Amino acid sequence: MGFGLCYLIFANCIAIFLFGLDKRRAVLNEWRISESTLLTVALLGGWPGAKYGQRKFRHKTRKQPFATQLNAIAIVQVLLVLSLLIPDVRRQVSEFTSRFPTPTEASKPVRMPVRFVPGS
């Protein structure tokens, strides 16, 4: 087993553990694990474990914007992996992202047409 696979297994186990621990602490009205910590573990590769823990423990399933942020992390990471593994998907993602202006293009002023008025 490679290092990458071991890391992902570890990250997902940590995510499941943290969701279970946070749910237990919520029930007992104890000090909680911050949402940013849970999202960081998901962002670092533990999103499948985070989604599993979220469903298994019925924890933070309706809490917004947390649930949306966790789903966004999962979608972005799946698209990233697909874009790296499948050349056609890589091309499609590149074409899709090229439709949006870059930060420098977005900050350029828009030139409005000059109106001609009588007497000018």
Any idea where the domains of the chain sit in the sequence?
Answer: 8-87
Q: Are 74 and 44 in contact (CB under 8 A)?
A: no
Distance CA 43, CA 77 (A): 8
Whether the Cβ atoms of residue 41 and residue 15 lie closer than 8 Å to each other = yes
Q: What is the mean pLDDT of the chain?
A: 84
Enumerate the H helices of 1-120 as residue ranges: 3-27, 35-41, 47-56, 66-85, 87-97, 103-106
pLDDT category at 92 given cuts 50, 70, 90 is confident
pLDDT single digits (tens) 37-52 = 999 999 999 999 999 9
How confident is the model at residue 115, as a pLDDT? 67
Residue 117 pLDDT greater than 70, yes or no: no
Distance CA 76, CA 47 (A): 11
Separation of alpha carbons 25 and 100, rounded Å: 43
pTM of the complete model: 0.67
When pLDDT is averaged across residues 82-94 and rounded to a whole number, the result is 75
Query: What sign has the CA pseudo-torsion 16, 47, 1, 10?
Result: negative
The mean pLDDT value for 48-67 works out to 87
Q: State mean pLDDT over 5-13.
A: 94
